[in-house]
């Protein structure tokens, strides 16, 4: 039997703004930009939510709904700083901390209970210490698995401590609407509605064969989640020092265009991984292995800390063109982002807005459908056969900033 905690700061970005400027307390605070700007709401205080303002809503909509709201651009560096302080508090309870985003994490405290008390005791202690030491309010769910802990922390925000007793998982979930369950999006909700299913309990009571017919292999998962079962582990995450991909060709390559296309694919993968890790690179390293296994590595700085494909590709391309000896056959090409930082110099909220928003949309599609769901046109014709992925990739779970 495990004891899992999900801890999630309440309206994080907005709460940080209030913490740093107490005159904002009690007012509708909306982080993301001006009321007339393009872009979306990154966070809204609970006061703003009373006007129907929500995360991910266009700022202009928020401006209409809450014209007297305090609209702020957001300060990513400050959020990261406080996030690190909060994560440090979490880490004092267990080494098994899995951050999901800046403001939420899973903790496996099973082995800590003998020394620190049971799950609810640890949950209360976490809430007190985050408030005392950082000044922020965190909602906490305690359960025997991640699924129930996450649903629990979310259930009575803000300032919640919700405990799901061992053995009570199915009963806890049963009365809740099915949208609370991981993996049940609007389409699945509609499909389940056709069977008269509105609550998780009704879902759990459906014949497994019915679910399997309608949802294929996901049907069985859905049924077991509806009963509150989830065996996934809390995976402690350590930020990588570098992020790299390399590709070995089936047959050695002389054509520079093919090498460049491969490099573009590698740059795309590297940039995607940087974004997953919420890191940015200050330099790249190119690795070239010629036939006969002679291997060269060359490094070049990037013009600025970045996690976008194009500057990473351009830097790699410059290295390739300077390094490659014409006519020599290449067996392997690799590209690694180095000099990683915590994406500190990046604006999460502003320029380069278009590129960043497009990239985020691409990431969202890839998270759902896989890396190959969206590819650059050039890679469709000249695409490498095989790719090696080194370094770990953090789990991606649906998050909402609440």
What DSSP element (H or E) covers 395?
A: none
Distance CA 6, CA 151 (A): 9
Work out how close the CB of 7 gets to Mg ion at its nearest, in angstroms, rounded to a whole number: 9
| Closest CB to Mg ion among residues 8, 278 | 8
Question: Minimum distance between the CB of residue 135 and Mg ion, rounded to whole angstroms?
Answer: 15
**Looking at beta carbons only, is 157 or 298 nearer to Mg ion?**
157
Q: Can you tell me the distance from the alpha carbon of 306 to that of 356, in angstroms, rounded to the nearest whole number?
A: 11
H helix intervals, 92-243:
113-116, 119-133, 146-155, 169-173, 186-194, 200-205, 208-215, 218-226
Looking at beta carbons only, is 308 or 401 nearer to Mg ion?
Answer: 401
> Cα(42)–Cα(73) distance, rounded to whole angstroms?
9
Q: How far is 49 from 399, CA to CA, in rounded Å?
A: 18
CB of 103 to Mg ion, least distance (A): 4
**Of 242, 250, 325, whose CA–CA distance to 288 is shortest?**
325
Q: Closest approach of Cβ 304 to Mg ion, in Å?
A: 29
Residues listed for the chain: 402
3-class DSSP state for residue 181? coil
Rank residues 7 and 72 by Cβ distance to Mg ion and give the closer one: 7
Residues that bind Mg ion (CB under 5 A): 8-9, 12, 103
- Give exposure, 143-164, as e/b (b: 16+ Cβ within 10 Å): bbbbbbbbbbbbeebbebbbbb
CB of 398 to Mg ion, least distance (A): 12
The pairing of beta strand 70-72 with beta strand 29-31: parallel
For residue 8, the minimal CB distance to Mg ion (Å) is 4
Q: Are 139 and 161 in contact (CB under 8 A)?
A: yes
- Residue nearer to Mg ion on the CB measure, 14 or 197: 14
- 362 φ, ψ (degrees, to nearest 5): -65, -45
Residue 401 tokens read as: 């900033």
Q: How far is the CB of 345 from Mg ion (least distance, A)?
A: 24
* Cβ nearer to Mg ion, comparing 162 with 288: 162
Active site residue 17: no
Please report which residue ranges of 38-195 form alpha helices under DSSP H.
Answer: 46-49, 59-65, 76-91, 113-116, 119-133, 146-155, 169-173, 186-194
Owner of token pair 């202690």: 125
CB count, 10 Å around CB of 287?
Answer: 18
The single residue of 104, 246, 260, 402 carrying the catalytic annotation is 104
Q: How far apart are CA 184 and CA 233, in angstroms?
A: 21
In the complex, minimum distance from the CB of residue 201 to Mg ion, in angstroms, rounded to a whole number: 27
Which residues are designated catalytic? 104
């Amino acid at each position: 039997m495990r004891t899992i905690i999900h801890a999630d700061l309440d309206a994080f970005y907005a709460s940080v703004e209030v913490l740093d400027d107490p005159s904002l307390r009690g007012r509708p605070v909306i982080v993301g930009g001006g009321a007339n700007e393009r872009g979306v709401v990154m966070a809204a205080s609970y006061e703003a939510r009373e006007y129907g303002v929500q995360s991910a809503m266009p700022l202009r909509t928020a401006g209409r709904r809450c014209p007297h709201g305090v609209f702020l651009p957001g300060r990513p560096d400050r959020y990261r700083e406080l996030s690190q302080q909060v994560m440090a508090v979490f880490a004092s309870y267990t080494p098994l901390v899995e951050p999901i985003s800046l403001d939420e994490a899973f903790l496996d405290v099973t082995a800590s209970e003998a020394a620190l008390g049971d799950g609810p005791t640890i949950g209360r202690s976490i809430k007190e210490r985050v408030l005392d030491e950082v000044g922020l309010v965190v909602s906490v769910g305690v359960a025997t698995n991640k699924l129930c802990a996450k649903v629990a922390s979310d259930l009575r925000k803000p300032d919640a401590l919700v405990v799901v007793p061992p053995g009570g998982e199915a009963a806890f979930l049963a009365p809740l609407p099915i949208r609370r369950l991981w993996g049940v999006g609007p389409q699945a909700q509609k499909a389940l509605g056709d069977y008269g299913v509105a609550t998780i309990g009704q879902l759990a009571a459906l014949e497994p064969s019915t679910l399997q017919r309608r949802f294929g292999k996901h049907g069985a998962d859905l049924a077991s989640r509806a009963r509150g079962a989830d065996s996934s582990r809390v995976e402690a995450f350590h930020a990588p020092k570098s992020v790299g991909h390399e590709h070995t060709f089936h047959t050695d390559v002389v054509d520079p265009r093919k090498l460049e296309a491969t490099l573009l694919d590698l740059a795309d993968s590297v940039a995607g991984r940087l974004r997953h890790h919420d890191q940015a690179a200050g330099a790249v390293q190119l690795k070239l292995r010629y036939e006969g296994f002679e291997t060269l590595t060359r490094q070049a700085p990037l013009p600025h800390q970045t996690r976008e494909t194009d500057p990473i590709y351009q830097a790699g391309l410059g290295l390739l063109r300077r390094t490659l000896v014409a006519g020599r056959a290449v067996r392997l090409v690799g590209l690694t982002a180095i000099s990683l930082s915590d994406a500190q110099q990046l604006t999460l909220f502003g320029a380069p807005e278009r590129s960043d928003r497009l990239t985020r949309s691409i990431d969202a599609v890839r998270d759902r459908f896989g890396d190959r769901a969206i590819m650059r046109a050039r890679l469709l014709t000249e695409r490498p056969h095989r790719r090696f992925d080194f370094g770990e990739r953090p789990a991606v779970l649906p998050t909402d900033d609440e």
